[in-house]
Structures are given as C-alpha cells and as structure tokens.
Structure 1
C-alpha cells in the first residue's frame, strides 16, 4: 500500500509511505519512502504543492498508483490548515484516491511513543545508554502541545503507547495538567509549564507535527482496515472573520 501524507497544521510537510501487511506473526509496518518539510509556519500555500510534486520525481511512482491519502486536520490556524486540506481534497478527487483525516497532534504523539528521544534530558546511568527507541520517555501519560498563538497552545493527552485519551483543547499553557509535555508549544511556554509541575524535554521542545509521522501513525490502521477521521478541519476556535450584518439605512 502506497500512502501520501500531508500536514500543514504548523509547518508544511508531505511524505510518501509504503506499508507492509502482517504475515507469519510479524506485525504490519510502514516505512517512509520520501518526505518534504519546511521550517516556516507561514508559507504553506507557496511551498506545499511544489513539495508534494518533488516526491513524485521517480517516474515509477505516479499519483494514480496511490492507495490512500491522509491529511492532518488540525488543530491549527485557519489559513495554514486549509492549505493542506484543500490540496489533499483536490488530489483525492483528481486521482480518485480515498482520503482520510488524522488529528495532527497524533503525529507528535507517535514520535514520543515510538521514536524515543536522546536521554540527556533525564537522569540515567551512563553505563546503560539512552532508552530503546520504542520506549516512551514520559513513562506514562503525557501531553503534546503546539503553538496556537494568542499566548495559547493546542494540546491533547495521550497514554504511554500514544493512544489519545481525550479530545484536544486550546488554552493557556498554565492550565495544562502536570504531566510531561512535548512539542513546540511546550518549548515556547516552558516556564509556565515548569511552574505548573510539567517537565519539558529539550529534545522535543521544538518538535512540530510532520506528515511523515502523521502517515506512520495512520498506516498500520489503514493496513488493518481501520477507520480514520473525515477531512473536516479541527479548528477549536471561532473564526475571526464575521459575516457582515444588514446595511444601515441612510434615512
């Protein structure tokens, strides 16, 4: 199964992933074939489509050969999030490929629970080395947070294996539960979180959701026939734009 993954909830990113179904007692897995990501959080519309196009440079990998497209549905800012979802919907329609939504914070949760982190941020016996890659550095429930601007964060709580425990929220960092917090939102408001009783590992203090991790978090479920979300954006805030009211009479 070949999957195109797109996320613009923070940075603009895209990835191609190939899945391997379970067989002979070996669990289903997925690998990233190619990926693209920016560091700019404000240039999604300009860079996303060229970035996606760069993934299909190999003539043997064509759009119509895709089995699925997954897109991060947020939470995230209105303009950036719309860029990714609109591109995913357009490609799904043109290529006639099924489209699935994934909550963007799940990408960070996947990184925390599956990729581990460099262990310089916690006390450890130097003879044992860092924790294995599949060990969640939080050791239990944890939070992921991205920058929501307006001095707030988008955040959600996950169990040790990366399972979402509750719907995502938006609010001040000072109101988060006292748990380990990962992601650029946590790094941005480190002092508020530390005062709250959270820990903020340096290795994840700048981490943003990426399409590669988003695709990996969704791939195994797709292989097993699981259901993902629709592609409706998850904004969590009301739009600042308002529909104008009726014009006032001059007389």
Structure 2
C-alpha cells in the first residue's frame, strides 16, 4: 500500500510517500521545509516532488494520512484541506492523526516521554507518552513552566518536538512529524481497511475572531 503523508501543524512543511506492508513502514521519499509562513506555497510542490522522487503518480496512491495538530489555525488548515481535497479527487481514504503522536513514534525509547511544540503566545502544545510511544495524557496547551511541573509529576525522562528545550528535560529528536511516523500512527486502521473518522483539527484554542456584538445606540 502506498500512502501520502503530510503535516503542517508545526513550522515544518512535511510531505512523504510511504510504503505500508504487512509488517513494516518504509519511506519511499520525503521533503521537509521549515517556514512557518509559507505552508500554502510549499505543500503542494512538496507533494509533487515526493511523488516524482518515489516514481509514484498521484493516481497510484492508496491513501492519505494527515497530521491534525495541535497547531496554529492557518498552518494546520493548509495541510488538512489539501489532504481532504486530494483524497476526494483521487477517491482514496484520508486518515487524520495527532501530530504529537507521530513525533512520539520516532522519539520513543527509555522511559516516559513528553512531546512539546510551539503554540505561540508564550505557550506550548504538549502530550505525554509511555516508553512504547502510547499517549497517556494530552494534548494540552499551557505555559512551559506548567508543563515542566507536570513532567516531574509524570516521571518523564526526555522531551521531543520543536519546543522540547523549554521544559527542562533532555531533548530527543525529532522536532516535527516524519512521514513514517504519521503513517505508523494510522497503520492499524490502514491495514484493516477501516473507514477513516471525520477530519477534526486539534486547535485547542478558540479562534481570535468573534462575531460582532449588537450595535451601540447613539444618543441624540
């Protein structure tokens, strides 16, 4: 099975073609570019590039996997809308996965782990994982000092993700989701041929824009 994996939940714009077999997740091609302000400009050229590198036309893909965050509104929407549009055009299923879970797949090892990424506004997105990479808490959005205190309570021994250095733990790679990490999170559903759940972005914050209130009366 050939799977396109994309993620725009972090400053990295990630795209890759991954071969999923009965017992392995194999990378065919990947492109990762770091620019938090150019997700829309960079993603589709990256998708076309990885398909070319892998010798896999878009029409040969069997599924799409996309990171659903948590992440900032604008960047996250780029990846999810692109994945949904490709799935619709190609007639293939689109599976959404938590982007922090994908980082945890690559970072899992000795002891409990935190995955921490930039949420802006002096806050971070984070989730906690056991040594096998299974999520046990989160995702949340909080100040780094609060996360550091929670890390001690959870007994975390390391942190991964782009903001891992803010919580006082030894830092492990990667900083952003890899194509193989994204597909590994969805692997059981893909292998089983399960219908994907509706795509739901993990914003964790309410949007800044609000509906305007009633007009104020102007006295004569």
2:160 is aligned with 1:182: yes
Spell out the pairing of 1:224-243 with structure 2 (5 A cutoff).
224-225=192-193, 229-243=197-211
2:7 is aligned with 1:29: no
> Alignment RMSD, CA only?
2.0
Give the aligned partner of residue 43 of structure 2. 48
Normalised to the residue count of structure 2, the TM-score between the two structures is 0.88
Give the aligned partner of residue 134 of structure 2. 163
Q: Aligned with 1:49: secondary structure? A: helix
Kept in 1: contact 2:29–2:51 (CA 8 A): no
Q: Which structure's residues are more often strand, by fraction?
A: 2
Kept in 1: contact 2:102–2:182 (CA 8 A): yes
2-structure distance, mates of 1:109, 1:12? 18
Mark the structure with the bigger radius of gyration: 1
Deviation at 1:228, TM superposition (A): 5.8
Deviations 1:36-91 (A, max 9, x none): 11122221011101111112226952222211111100000000000000100110
Deviation at 1:216, TM superposition (A): 3.0
Q: Aligned with 2:126: secondary structure? A: strand
Change (3 A) 1:99 1:246: same
Normalised to the residue count of structure 1, the TM-score between the two structures is 0.77
Give the aligned partner of residue 208 of structure 1. 176
Deviation at 1:232, TM superposition (A): 1.2
Give the aligned partner of residue 66 of structure 1. 61
Give the aligned partner of residue 149 of structure 1. 120
Kept in 2: contact 1:14–1:212 (CA 8 A): no
Spell out the pairing of 1:34-113 with structure 2 (5 A cutoff).
34-57=29-52, 61-113=56-108
Q: Which runs of 5+ in 1 are unaligned?
A: 22-27, 114-135
The number of residue pairs the alignment matches comes to: 211
2-structure distance, mates of 1:173, 1:89? 33
